[in-house]
Structure 1
Amino acid sequence: MLSSQYLTRSDQPEQPVMVFLHGLLGSGADWLDCAQWLQAYPCIGLDLPGHGGSRAVDCHSLDQAAEEVRDTLIKHQLAARPLILAGYSLGARIAMHGVASGLFAPLNIRLLAVEGGHFGLTCKQDQVLRWRQDCRWARRFRREPVDVVLTDWYQQPVFSSLNHAQKQSLIDYRSDNLGASVAGMLLATSLARQAYLADAIKSQKVPVHYFYGEHDSKFSRMANDSRVPATCIAHAGHNAHKEQPRAFAMALRRQLDQHLEMTQ
Structure 2
Amino acid sequence: MTTYNGSAVAMDPIMSQANQSRRAGPHAALLPCLPQVSTNAGGGAGAARTPLRALFWNTGDSASLAPIADARTVPVLLHGLGDGADIWRPVLDHWPGQAPPIMALDLPGHGGSGRLPEDKYRVPEIARVIAAALHHLRLERVVLIGHSVGAGIALHLAGSGLMRPHGTILIERSAEAVEQADAAVAKHVDGLIVGATDLDRLITYVRSQLPLADARATTEAITALARQADTGWHLPIDPAVKRLLDRSANGDGEWALLKAVQGPVAIVRGQYSSFLPLTIAERMAAMARSPVTVETITRSGHAISLEQPAALAACLARQIARFHGNC
TM-score tier by shorter-chain length is: 0.7 to 0.9
- Go from structure 1 to structure 2 and tell me whether the alpha carbon gap of 1:161 and 1:247 turns closer, same or farther (over 3 Å shift): closer
Instruction: Quote the Cα distance in structure 1 between the aligned partners of 2:310 and 2:131.
Output: 28
Instruction: Quote the Cα distance in structure 1 between the aligned partners of 2:205 and 2:213.
Output: 14
- Give the drift of 1:256: 1.4
After superposition, the C-alpha distances for 1:109-145 in whole angstroms (9 at most, x for unaligned) are: 1110010012133xxxx88x999x59x8599679x83
- The one-letter code of the counterpart of 1:226 is M
Residues 1:2 and 2:61 aligned together: no
Residues 1:54 and 2:113 aligned together: yes
Between the aligned residues of both structures, percent identity stands at 23
Matches within 5 A, 1:61-80: 61-79=122-140
Question: Could you list the runs of 5+ residues in structure 2 that have no partner in the other structure?
Answer: 1-50, 61-66, 227-232, 286-291
- Go from structure 1 to structure 2 and tell me whether the alpha carbon gap of 1:57 and 1:235 turns closer, same or farther (over 3 Å shift): same
- Give the drift of 1:43: 0.6
Q: Is this contact kept in 2: 1:138–1:184, CA < 8 A?
A: no
Which structure shows the higher helix fraction? 1
Bigger-Rg structure (1/2): 2
Instruction: Quote the Cα distance in structure 2 between the aligned partners of 1:214 and 1:140.
Output: 26
Higher relative contact order (CA 8 A, sep 6+): 1
Matches within 5 A, 1:1-264: 1-9=51-59, 13-36=70-93, 37=95, 39-58=98-117, 59-79=120-140, 82-102=141-161, 104-105=162-163, 108-121=164-177, 145-147=194-196, 161=212, 176-178=234-236, 181=238, 183-194=239-250, 195-221=252-278, 222-227=280-285, 229-263=293-327
Instruction: Quote the Cα distance in structure 2 between the aligned partners of 1:51 and 1:201.
Output: 27
- Go from structure 1 to structure 2 and tell me whether the alpha carbon gap of 1:47 and 1:167 turns closer, same or farther (over 3 Å shift): closer
After superposition, the C-alpha distances for 1:193-241 in whole angstroms (9 at most, x for unaligned) are: 3343134223321321101112214413321232352101122221223
Q: Secondary structure at the match of 1:212?
A: strand
Root-mean-square deviation (Å): 3.7
- Go from structure 1 to structure 2 and tell me whether the alpha carbon gap of 1:246 and 1:112 turns closer, same or farther (over 3 Å shift): same
TM-score, normalisation: structure 1: 0.76
- Go from structure 1 to structure 2 and tell me whether the alpha carbon gap of 1:168 and 1:120 turns closer, same or farther (over 3 Å shift): same
TM-score, normalisation: structure 2: 0.62
Question: Could you list the runs of 5+ residues in structure 1 that have no partner in the other structure?
Answer: none
- Give the drift of 1:162: 5.1
